[in-house]
Structure 1
Amino acid sequence: MRAEDHDQGMDPSTGQPVGAPVGHTPIEEVDRLCRAAATAAPALAAFSPPDRAALLRALGAALEAHRDEVVALADRETGLGAARLAGELTRCVVQFELFAAALEEGSILEAVLDPADPSARPAPRPDLRRMLLPLGPVAVFAASNFPLAFSVPGGDTASALAAGCPVIVKAHPGHPALSVLCARIVADALAAAGAPAGSFALVHGVEAGRALVVHPAVTAVGFTGSVAGGRALFDLAAGRPDPIPFYGELGSLNPVVVTAGALARRAEAVVAGFVGSFTLGAGQFCTKPGLLLLPAGHGLTGALADAAGAVAVGPLLNARIRDAYLAETEALAALPGVRTISPGPAPDGAGYRVAPRLFAVGAADLVARADRLLEECFGPAALVVEYADRAELDKVFAALPGGLTATVHAELPAEAELARHLVAHCVARSGRVIWDGWPTGVAVTWAMQHGGPWPATTGSVHTSVGVTAVRRFQRPVAYQNLPQELLPPELRDGNPLGIVRRVDGVLGLA
């Protein structure tokens, strides 16, 4: 089998192959799977919310039943460690259960009933009933850095199935064997629970991924990956004869700003928290704090160097990421105005190991070279930005691209006015604003927002984590004056499914 015709898992700790090569999916097979998904879509959409919830609970239970096998293989292909991966699998299970509970509660369907009102102003109102329906087959592109939570059994798959959409996953080449295993678990669990044939499938290879995006049966795409790769697929989705939504999570710097007051009160905690956060998972989290904004004359250079130099990070996920990290950090170190705080000694051992690297630059130099300095470096590298005053902070924030998160460390009540000013900056530049903490770690909840202005995501109005992620794969439909027997059960009088609805403006169980 030619190298360009298959994906091969590699152990990041040794650089040696894992398992057998997995062949790329022929375009003809992609077409067959998409047509099967289109056939399954009406039947899956017809599942009641409780029946759809049962499918999701079955998926969570199946993953749990294969926990040891999944975690062991994931560790071999990613080197992320059994403890981290076990937690990631638990997140997947909890995610399926959370979506199931949300379906049973019903508010994610946004059922709204406005009964006919002949006395309404300015004109009599017909009977109007509206709810969210599934779009249809969804293509999901798996990520490298979360081989479970943002891959085959991850959040995009869970939210699309919760919406009632068949899913076709494009496997990430970094963990092909794990993708095959998880796809088998998901497909078997769905079949055993009664899902229609064609509700789930897996494909491999770049060309298969492109074919998915342009296939007429596919109605939306979920993507987590690089800016370049995401933009190319985004353009494909937009360039179709029938453009479809492309929900891409791409790149984020996640700035953290520390005020003079916060620095005076807890400098040691800032150093420990920042270094722990930007090196977590070998710096391969999408929420890694890539920028630390400190007051000029902060005096933390030595402490930051010592803390970063003491961290032994695990291997990067693959050779491509390692090579890009080494090239990007060397280029960063050579830029005018950039100082190296922690040079990153050569790591010991085989595989794709690297050392953390930490750099510093003045705010004026950052703004002057924003096109180069404000690029995400995937891996355990970060940049300290030293600002002289509030005016320089304003210029830095004006230059920052959109991000997933932005964080403020300040002292209250002494710096309340400054804190409000900084929070406003963060709101304008990110989807999640953090106070006195660190951005790594994303809770799967109703309130979570994991998205932000470009280039963090292609659509800042949505999230890829949390219950409302399902909204990406739904569309609203209004029914006017339909007889009861022709309405979906969710919209009929008497609320036969017992879900949360808004009736005549009032939210409840009516």
Structure 2
Amino acid sequence: MAVKGELLIGEASFIGKGKAFFAVEQTTGNRLGAAFHGATPDDVERAVALSWEAFQAYRETPLHERALFLERIALNILALGDELVDRASAETGLPKSRIEGERARTVGQLRLFASEVREGRFQELRLDPADPSRIPFPKPDLKLRNIALGPVAVFGSSNFPLAFSVAGGDTASALAAGCPVIVKAHSAHPGTSELVGRAIQRAVADSGFAPGVFSLLFDAGLEVGQALVADDRIRAVGFTGSRRGGLALAGIASKRKQPIPVYAEMSSINPVIIFPSALESRGDEIAKDFIGSLTLGAGQFCTNPGLILIVEGRGVDKFVSAAASYIAEAAAQTMLTAGICDAFKGQTAKMEAKSTVTVAGRGFAGTTLEGQAVLFSTTGSAVLEDPELQEEIFGAASLVVRCAHQAELEQVLASLEGQLTVALQMNEADTELAQGLLPSLELLAGRILVNNFATGVEVSPAMVHGGPFPATSDGRSTSVGTLAIYRFLRPVCYQDFPAALTPSAFRLDRGGSE
């Protein structure tokens, strides 16, 4: 299937009339094919109008039909074959093996939500029968179900061209909930976005759904995204990206006549606590695994281990030396965009310039489009005095914080902002220390790991990929796993409804049959 640079609005596809921009082959900086063009205000209006028109019917589709729709999307993505892998790899600089793994994850997410839809548990149907004999007042008949919020605007991420983009977790969970989706594609991988968008567009048509169930818009700037969030027919937003971008969208949403939820995954440094017994007995092993996690994918993961917390004592110097030796072997890697690479280099230079920070080790230097891995070291007191040391660096950079004692480590933890993850490296002898920290860690992060690093996010019913602000804009939610569907639902209670007026969901089994 050829990439044409077309907007996909409902069943239509055409070249936009907005500002032109180009896809880029990240390893060379060369343009890939013809220009893409952003959507105009008229295009945004058309997409939103179609989405709102499709909503009433789509939200009440039988569950088995909605599940089949999600499975059709998965099959259509697989049918794109090597064309999708090659294009995504070219546009992101990520190796083809990584793209293949991400494709499998994307397809798996869609199939997971298809199973969730078939089960129907997300509706949370509750029947509370009347009791006219109750004294002193009769008890009414009450029924409850979750219903879809309405059309959802999804913003593709830069670092996951498949799993957090056009057909990623936000789109899959919103469609599963019964919400039409309008995706604002990320300008860093527009060809990949178009290919996947066409896979969804075909699935909509093959399912016999209204065309407005899905649309895909391009924009090299901010106008299209801002217009989507401001439109009163859009009822929720899914976003993965920078804190600045997420807060800007949340600000627009909060100023609407009817404010809406913005589920933004934004900023996290994912602290790792290395406890004394684990450090002494297997510090070299931990150092090797840490650097492997840090440099994976050029460090361009939201769960990258950006902060290592250690209490001074036996094994600390050896650990830092081992980590430095492992990072010295790390090859420079192409980053997702020239802008991301420039930002990474600027942030690491700023960190290195601080008098309280030392460079413990570096990886191999690379080209202007490649990031050089770097490991910094500082003290707990310096982190407490300088909040900038806690800022996320998007890329393969991490800071080892050597705390004078356990109390200082706990002070550093207490000073941190909300996180996606916290990882504990511990032995059995460290259990008491870990137990003492656990209540605080539960308030700090959405996922707590033991003897692992967080750069693998399992797609499963029990996964939480979220956390207190600024990890996410709403720490009660997750963007990965089946709980993600609840972001796009709200409960409605039906009191004393006659049978003829009662929604059909209460008369259907979970598979959607009478």
TM-score clears 0.5: yes
CA distance in 1, matches of 2:336, 2:307: 22
Name the SS of the counterpart of 1:485 in structure 2. coil
* 278-287 or 180-189, larger mean C-alpha shift: 180-189
Instruction: Tell me by how many angstroms 1:281 deviates.
Output: 0.7
SS of aligned partner of 1:487: coil
Per the alignment, residue 393 of structure 2 pairs with: 377
Q: Which residue of 2 aligns with 1:406?
A: 422
1:106-505 correspondence to structure 2 within 5 Å = 106-120=120-134, 123-205=137-219, 206-297=222-313, 298-299=316-317, 300-347=319-366, 349=367, 352-370=369-387, 372-412=388-428, 414-492=429-507, 496-498=508-510
* Aligned 8 A contact 1:430 1:452 in 2: yes
> Which residue does the alignment assign to 1:506?
none
Q: Is the 8 A contact 1:367 1:396 kept in 2?
A: yes
SS at match of 2:31: strand
CA contact (8 A) 2:332 2:364 kept: no
SS class of match (2:211): coil
Deviation at 1:345, TM superposition (A): 4.2
CA–CA distance in structure 2, aligned partners of residues 134 and 226 of structure 1: 27
The structure-2 alpha-carbon separation of the partners of 1:4 and 1:199, relative to structure 1 and needing over 3 Å to count, comes to closer
The CA deviation at 1:499 is 5.8
Deviation (angstroms), 1:67 = 2.7
**TM-score when scaled to structure 2?**
0.93
Deviations 1:247-276 (A, max 9, x none): 100010100000111111211111011101
User: Partner amino acid for 1:430?
Assistant: A
CA RMSD of aligned residues (A): 1.8
Contact persistence 1:362–1:386 (CA under 8 A): yes
CA separation in 1, counterparts of 2:171 and 2:375?
A: 36
For 2:85 and 2:31, how far apart are their aligned partners in 1? 18
Cα separation, 1, equivalents of 2:136 and 2:173 = 40
Structure 2: stretches of 5+ with no match in the other structure: 1-14
Between the aligned partners of 2:320 and 2:114, the Cα distance in structure 1 is: 49
Deviation of 1:6 after TM superposition, in Å, equals: 2.5
Distance 1:44 1:354, change over 3 A: same
CA contact 2:18–2:40 (8 Å) conserved in 1: no
Query: 1: distance between equivalents of 2:65 and 2:349?
Result: 54
Matched AA of 1:469? A
1:29-40 aligned at under 5 Å gives the runs: 29-40=43-54
Residues 290, 382 of structure 1: 8 Å contact kept = yes
2:157 partner amino acid: A
Moved over 6 A (4+): 1-4
Q: Which amino acid aligns with 1:364?
A: S
Unaligned runs of 5+ in 1: 501-508
**What secondary structure, in the 3-state scheme, does the structure 1 residue paired with 2:480 have?**
coil
Q: How many residues matched?
A: 494
Q: Identity percentage over the alignment?
A: 42
3-state SS in 2 of match to 1:484? coil
Shift of 1:415: 2.5
Find the counterpart in structure 2 of residue 26 from structure 1. 40
